[in-house]
Structure 1
Amino acid sequence: MKSLTATLAAALSIALANDAARAAEPSAAPAPAIEQVAQFDGAMPTGITVAPNGRMFVNFPQWGDNAPFTVGEVVNGTTVPYPELATNQPDPAAPAAHFISVQSVVADGANRLWVLDTAAPGFRTPQPGGAKLVAIDLATNTIVRTIVLPDSVVLPTTYLNDVRFDLRQGEAGVAYITDSSNAGIGGIIVVDLATGKAFRRLSGHASTAPEPDFTPVVDGEPLMNRPANGPAKPVRVASDAIALSADGSLLYYGPLSGRTLYAVPTAALRDPRVSEADLAGQIRDMGAKGASDGIAEDDRGRVFAGDYEHNAIRVLDQGKWSTVVTDPAISWPDTLSIGRDGYLYFTANQLHRQAGFHEGRDLRRKPYAVLRIRIDSGPVLLTRP
């Protein structure tokens, strides 16, 4: 087994090699300007989504910041609970009717906001009956669908992370969810939105697992779990970022603890008659995107990815990765969302500065922010004509 010193040295060597590779990238268009569109002086946000009509929603998982609400809408620079405060108050007696700890919010092309509730505050075992997908009608701001995910897909180690929708499949569409477990196995959860039936795919496969010997370097030092009392341990987070191709034929994904982007055909992913072995044989390696907590797809077929090691946003365009912009303000780019206004929005939440990575010292500096850059393209909204 490698010593801790050898592991950290290897991590620094890899980081330097990545920097050199980026420096050698062919020169491109000037980097777009970074604009701040929202800031948060309280709890740390993770998710961001911009609805087709321009409304902006964020979420605050219950990781220890005691967020007064876990889903919010940014209105005139102020974040208010959404759809209202009562739904954001956990109720152990009615876990399906209240948000517990939301990790992701995604607006679809049918004027709905989908809320992905982990039901796992503090990364604990999900509360029975609480892990769910919730659809809110943006015209009426009322909940119109709640899908409680069964124990067959929500394992004791599951942490639901991000979700994408293709509303053309089946009677009401399909959802794809990443399991970014930091203590068990990763995987992709497929959900039939009409029936609520769900099943796991690529569960424990190498592409949904943390990359071996991966240690990211952020803010100039190896990022590791460093409790106030106890030895440092690697950060081992499974499948996290997720996106769909412009035509919906491919699902892109990758582990948070890794730098590789993978793609798998969605038709095979949805079909339970395709064996796990046959499905694994169809996985494509899309190259080194950088270490990402979030990715997003646009209607031109490009995939954008955060690069939390380099305070950067990168893009896969016509088979080649390049850096779009890098700036200290992009401090841990988390979720990415593309609006119809031609901008890519993303949260910069300083996740790596949390106390658990720094021997109990919280190094985050408020405010946290939602930033955006102009990309001159639109979102992928897979709906029936």
Structure 2
Amino acid sequence: MSGRATWLYQQKAGYFLPSTHWEIQLVEIKNKKAIPYPSINLQKNGQKASDQTIDSPLGIIFDKKNRLWVTDMGLNLGKTRLWCFNIKTNQVIEKIEIPEAIAPAGTFAQDVAIDEKNNWAYLADINNPGIIAINLKTKEARRWSGHVSLQAENKDMVIDGKVVYFKGKPARVAIDPITISADRETIFYGAMVGTTWYKLPAKLFREGKSDQTIADAVQKAGNKPMSDGATTDEYGNHYFTNSQEHAITKVDVKGKSSNIVQDEKIKWPDNVIFGPVGWIYVTANQLNTTPAFTGTTDTGKAPYYIYRFKINKR
């Protein structure tokens, strides 16, 4: 689930717990209440950013070992980090700091794909469009960038009949959704403002191949809607948040596209993730109503939702 969604909800609507108002960076929803995760002590909570606390979490995902991974782009701290939590003990397992040479200040490490089989992580950076690959054993990282597949397409994103602007210009947002196949051998990715879904072999990163070798291996995997998030199931189907149509779009293994859920209530579906027993979860955070997109004030209207619904993957 995207941390950006929970962060926006907290900043715009406020999380209130009994007798306490905390400025929370990462939360767990229990009984319709937002609980600081894994504790209040790990939250920046209005204080100065530090190495000991979560700063600006975005991509949130579980791996097959049921560990929770969180990208932290460090808007205040100026460092990009990747956190890993044991959700049974609520303890920090890993806190990996990505070197400044790979992720300089201003890096916008958005979504993340985890390969727990081979111990690698792949982060999508939309600010300097690229993929940051991290060897989780050695903690070494590299950046792959400069390829056209990582860039936004020159197309307008239109929501409810209006062109979406970003920083005063028609939005042209680069690589954002990134996923990995069930066998952990294929990385899939695409631009938020783009309708092409790409793929490349993950082993090229594991084997330390050159940037050019990686570039030469990029292939089109199919078409997609303009999307902020995506996930890939064990059958090879892809599920995208469809920003323009207030929908979740499934693209099956044959390339057939269909909206499996569509509702005006889904205002800017941010990310999509599988839960247990056939559930799929979607955040709707009205991101296009924030000042970066409106150019003026925040026009979003609370509440901001997390939806879930049943799906048939086959």
Question: Do they fold alike, i.e. is TM over 0.5?
Answer: yes
Counterpart selection for 2:73 from 104, 108, 118:
118
1:329 Cα deviation after fit: 1.4
Q: Secondary structure at the match of 2:110?
A: strand
Q: Which amino acid is the alignment partner of residue 260 of structure 1?
A: T
1:90 Cα deviation after fit: 6.3
Cα pair 1:46 1:349 within 8 Å, conserved? no
Identify if the C-alpha distance between structure 1 residues 94 and 323 changes in structure 2 by more than 3 Å, giving closer, same or farther: closer
Q: Secondary structure at the match of 1:257?
A: coil
Q: Which amino acid is the alignment partner of residue 103 of structure 1?
A: L
Q: Secondary structure at the match of 2:280?
A: strand
Q: Secondary structure at the match of 1:363?
A: coil
Counterpart selection for 1:168 from 117, 139, 142:
117
Structure that is richer in strand per residue? 2
Identify if the C-alpha distance between structure 1 residues 307 and 93 changes in structure 2 by more than 3 Å, giving closer, same or farther: closer
Partner of 1:204: 146
TM-score by length of 1: 0.74
Q: Which amino acid is the alignment partner of residue 84 of structure 2?
A: A
1:60 maps onto 2:7 in alignment? yes
CA RMSD of aligned residues (A): 2.4
Q: Which amino acid is the alignment partner of residue 253 of structure 1?
A: Y
Superposed CA offset, 1:141-196 (max 9, x none): 11121111111210234101111111111xxx111111111xxx211111111221
Identify if the C-alpha distance between structure 1 residues 92 and 234 changes in structure 2 by more than 3 Å, giving closer, same or farther: same
Superposed CA offset, 1:45-76 (max 9, x none): 9439xxxxxxxxx7416996496111000111
Higher relative contact order (CA 8 A, sep 6+): 1
Aligned residues: 305
Partner of 1:251: 187
1:305 maps onto 2:240 in alignment? yes
Q: Secondary structure at the match of 1:281?
A: helix
Distance 2:210 2:9 in 1: 37
1:335 maps onto 2:271 in alignment? yes
1:277 maps onto 2:212 in alignment? yes
Superposed CA offset, 1:177-219 (max 9, x none): 11111xxx21111111122111112x121111111x2220012
Q: Secondary structure at the match of 2:204?
A: helix
Superposed counterparts of 1:1-385, under 5 Å = 46-47=2-3, 59-60=6-7, 65=12, 68-89=23-44, 95-120=50-75, 127-128=77-78, 130-169=79-118, 173-181=119-127, 185-201=128-144, 203-211=145-153, 213-225=154-166, 232-272=168-208, 274-320=209-255, 321-377=257-313
Cα pair 2:49 2:55 within 8 Å, conserved? no
Cα pair 2:2 2:60 within 8 Å, conserved? no
Cα pair 1:350 1:364 within 8 Å, conserved? yes
Identify if the C-alpha distance between structure 1 residues 61 and 192 changes in structure 2 by more than 3 Å, giving closer, same or farther: farther
Partner of 1:52: none
Identify if the C-alpha distance between structure 1 residues 64 and 111 changes in structure 2 by more than 3 Å, giving closer, same or farther: closer
What's the % identity of the aligned pairs?
Answer: 30
Q: Which has the larger radius of gyration?
A: 1
TM-score by length of 2: 0.89
Identify if the C-alpha distance between structure 1 residues 316 and 90 changes in structure 2 by more than 3 Å, giving closer, same or farther: same
1:364 Cα deviation after fit: 1.1
Distance 1:162 1:216 in 2: 20
Cα pair 1:343 1:376 within 8 Å, conserved? no
- Which stretch of structure 1 is more off in the superposition, 70-79 or 83-92? 83-92
Q: Which amino acid is the alignment partner of residue 153 of structure 1?
A: I
